[in-house]
Amino acid sequence: MTQETVERIKNNPKYQKLVTERSRFAWTLSIIMLVIYYAFIMVIAFKPALLGIKMGMGVITIGIPIGVAIIVIAFALAGIYVNRANGVYDQLSQEIRDELGEGA
Amino acid sequence: MKKFLFLSLFIGLSALVYGAGAIEGEIEKQPLNISAIIMFLIFVSGTLGITYWAAKRTKTAKDFYTAGGGITGFQNGMAIAGDYMSAASFLGISGLVYLAGYDGLIYSIGFLVGWPIILFLISERLRNLGKYTFADVAAYRLRQTPIRTLAAFGSIATVILYLIAQMVGAGKLIQLLFGLPYELAVVLVGTLMILYVTFGGMLATTWVQIIKAVLLLSGATFMALAVLSQFDFSLNAMFAKAIEVHDKGEAIMAPGGLVSDPISAISLGIALMFGTAGLPHILMRFFTVSDAKEARKSVFYATGFIGYFYILTFIIGFGAIIMVLNNPEYLDLAKQAISGGSPILGGKNMAAIHLSHAVGGNFFLGFISAVAFATILAVVSGLTLAGASAISHDLYANVFNKSGEVDEAKEMRVSKIATVGLGILAIILGIAFEQQNIAFVVGLAFAIAASANFPVLFLSMFWSKLTTRGAVYGGSLGLATAIILVILGPIVWVDILGNAEAIFPYKYPALFSVTVAFVTIWLISITDNSQGAKDEIKAYDAQDIRSQTGIGAEGASSH
């Protein structure tokens, strides 16, 4: 890639849009995941009894649905990202490539 | 080639038959497991057949390292999940649930949450920048020789430690499940792995991994359903029964003593999360798909399979509490006579295996035993391929080869020689470490991956001011810190070396060693005023464009 091409792509509004939007989206999702996980770890480290509270009449503690929910959320967040990235963002990056005349 | 495969199959067969004969003396402890051996032989012949098929399609270096880049996102997701669902995590986590209940789930979650983050931040950049190994990415704009040497060192250290753990686990497991002598089991695993990798390269390794993942997920699903069906699919009834029979009672439904203090908790979290993103055999899988789109899909599917698998192991662990614990059939009477309690045959990691017998009789025990063996085989193959690639692609082709011209055929030959070498080394280490306490080994592998591989890889993609000098100093110091802190920590210093008190009080060094790596990289990079550093910073823009858009990225080969 020549310095000239680099400058051209960097100044392309579509490229700027792609980079800003995707990084914001990716970091937001990452932070959501990290906050959930480390909140869980902090509860375990400082107040483990909290997860041992029983739900309703049965023996199941809230720790169990919370644990399973974290697994499900991890998968759901992955799905949300892939859906947007493989659609909107790939479309944008294809357009940038087309404008450069590099074809598919 | 064909002849050779049949020959090795024959050797494998006779080894199994011979081994079966050799344990007759202690048949009381380990009855001959015919169905396990038959199912394992079916798996081995099937996978050798695949290796033969793959060998015909493995012609270029690209084929060998990345299966020509032609694996689909779904297949790769399955293979990544397979790499991650090792025998250690299947047997270890279900064993942990069996022993401590809820604590097992904490581990699973730690292992899983790294995946979405890898997807959001790393997977597509990795795919867009890399070719065969993660060092391709780290060395993209930095100086090849020092960066590749560092990356290869980190990769090989991680791979060898992981291999030791897998080989020792394999030997003990097979000894217990099939009644084969330990050494024979280790040699068998090493030999099969060498065959898969040298002849079938990444294509065979991937398919072995996929088949095993399907078998493991089906087996685990069956076990979980069998357990739940006993309680008419009432989770409450299942947990109530487990609380009733477990000597910890209601404590199994809440966090216990696994994670004792906040520092350990965070440190473990960092090791699991960043370690996963620094494991060479996992990172290499991103180069087997055609583009960033497929790379993203792979992680999505992998996260789903791994999450589902961990939920199953949780149910399996509880199932084992109900059906294995206090069941005289699985009780280790000899051990009970000495230490009391109700120890099960083979220790807590056998909980899932005994449960398979409890729910499905000898036939299903055979199936799960064969799957456990297959799991180890598949994981060691992936590890060896990653280690061999670091040797051939990073060290041989880019560090030692000063001429600048890379002869592909020669590089592949080096890779195959490296595979055989690593295989033999794994066998030797597996036998040497039989009697050793290897509890620290996987932890150390994760710590090195998190402290040496991950910071350099991550900053090379995200931080324009990273320089070669910063990466080399920071990565090396992270590596050294991880090793030193593990040695001075409670597992090695106290449990293995027998000292009274640990110099470094925490089991998991990642929080400290990862911090050391990042701070050193930052400090050395910003104070690096050399011309080389300026050029490297300048080259970031072009790298970033390629990583963001995939312009100029490696494509899939045509076949």
The total of structural domains in chain B comes to 1
CA dihedral (B355, B361, B362, B363) positive or negative: negative
Domain presence at residue A6: no
CB contact under 8 A, A60 and B119: no
Mind listing the pLDDT tens digit of every residue in chain B (559 residues)?
Answer: 444 444 443 333 333 333 333 322 333 345 667 788 888 889 899 999 999 999 999 888 889 999 999 899 999 999 999 988 888 788 888 998 998 899 889 888 988 998 999 999 999 999 999 889 999 999 999 998 999 999 999 999 999 999 998 898 888 888 878 878 889 889 999 999 999 999 999 999 999 999 999 999 999 999 999 999 999 999 999 999 999 999 888 889 988 866 667 788 788 888 888 898 899 999 999 999 999 999 999 999 999 999 999 999 999 999 999 999 888 888 887 778 787 777 888 778 889 999 999 999 888 988 998 888 888 898 999 999 999 999 999 999 888 876 667 788 888 899 999 999 999 999 999 999 888 777 678 888 999 999 999 999 999 999 999 999 999 999 999 999 999 998 898 888 888 888 888 899 888 899 999 999 999 999 999 999 999 999 999 899 989 989 988 888 887 765 5
Residue A9 inside a domain? The answer is: no
Length of chain B: 559
| Number of domains into which chain A is organized | 1
- pTM for the structure as a whole: 0.89
Is residue B553, in this structure, part of any structural domain at all? Answer: no
Structural domain boundaries enclosing A94: 15-100
Residue B489 counted as domain residue: no
ipTM, 2 dp: 0.93
CA distance A97 to chain B (A): 7
Is residue A4 assigned to a domain? no
- DSSP letter for B172, please: H
Is residue A88 less than 8 Å (CB to CB) from chain B?
no
Q: Are B223 and B356 in contact (CB under 8 A)?
A: yes
- Domain contains A75: yes
Long-range contacts of A49-58 (CB under 8 A, 24+ apart): A49/B254, A51/B102, A51/B254, A51/B255, A52/B250, A52/B253, A52/B254, A52/B255, A58/B236, A58/B239, A58/B240
CB-based contact B109 A45, cutoff 8 Å:
no
* Residue B47: CATH number of its domain: 1.20.1730.10
Q: Which of residues 5-64 of A touch B (CB under 8 A)?
A: 6, 9-10, 15, 18-19, 22, 26-27, 29-30, 33-34, 36-38, 40-42, 44-46, 48-49, 51-52, 58-61, 63-64
**CA separation for the pair B516, B302 (Å, rounded):** 31
Please indicate, yes or no, if residue A20 is contained in any of the structural domains: yes
| Residue B233 resides in a domain | yes
Query: Do the domain assignments include residue A8?
Result: no
- The answer as to whether B484 is a domain residue is no
Neighbours of A76 (CB within 10 A): 15
Q: Is there a domain that residue A7 lies in?
A: no
The domain in which residue B300 lies consists of 2-319+351-438
CB contact under 8 Å between A74 and B297, yes or no, is: no
Please report whether residue A5 resides in a domain: no
